[in-house]
Structure 1
Amino acid sequence: MLKRIDHIGVVVHDLPRAKKFLESLGLTLEFERELPDRKVKAAFYRVGDGARIELIEPTTSEARRRRLGDRVGDKARIEHIAVEVDDSITEIMQTLRGLGVEFVAPQPVAIDGNLNAFSRPDTSEGIQFQLVERDAATA
């Protein structure tokens, strides 16, 4: 059902600073993007044989508060674990619903040509999972 870790999403307070830190560890920037509709900027770094770290910086104070918290000293937190699935994402969602897991949206959403579904953390043991069904062209 679950194939491999695709990426770990980390919300950060200062994207340039977090990027500099990952680069000091020898990681290379794979790509960046800004998603105004989601009020974030993101940068992806490849780690090893295909997993990535996604740095996510909220671009408004409301988005920052919602995703990172109110405490001034909070610099980063793991937000989600994205797992590539090897079967139909809708079938896996149905299986997980049978275990009591709820999703942010009732159907998978397309992001970068892939289908994605995000669990509600309070229904998946406090962890938000992002299921990723890769398009064969992007796999």
Structure 2
Amino acid sequence: MANFMFLPTTEPDRMRVGLEWILCHDGNPKILLSLLVPQERGWVSPTREDPYMKALQPALDADLLVISAGGNSRAHNNLHPTSHFVIGGFDDKGSSDKSGYDEHPSASHGFNGDGYWRPDLLAPYTYLPVPI
């Protein structure tokens, strides 16, 4: 049985408190999906300094798998820490021929503020070709 819990805030302090409450009062969560982007503006900085990443620390402390969206802008250069499993996007150009796939031009990828390459995994970004 799967449970879905939504934390309706983007304020780091409220996120942390809500996440701590969920971890203490709900039955055994295993995965946290984060669609937040670390420090949307500013210089590349260590991920441990990012208020959003600090807010998600209770999930990591509880050994949850934190899955994070890689982002939708190459201009955004503050990427997730290695403690998150990050999924980015590739451009399949509408084809099932994998030899022509490239990282999607608008999907975030590169080194994070700690010097580690992000994302961990690429998934279809625009098209999903299926046999007809």
TM-score, normalised to structure 1, is 0.30
Larger relative contact order, structure 1 or 2 (CA cutoff 8 Å, min sep 6): 1
* More strand, by proportion: 1
TM-score, normalised to structure 2, is 0.31
Q: Which has the larger radius of gyration?
A: 2
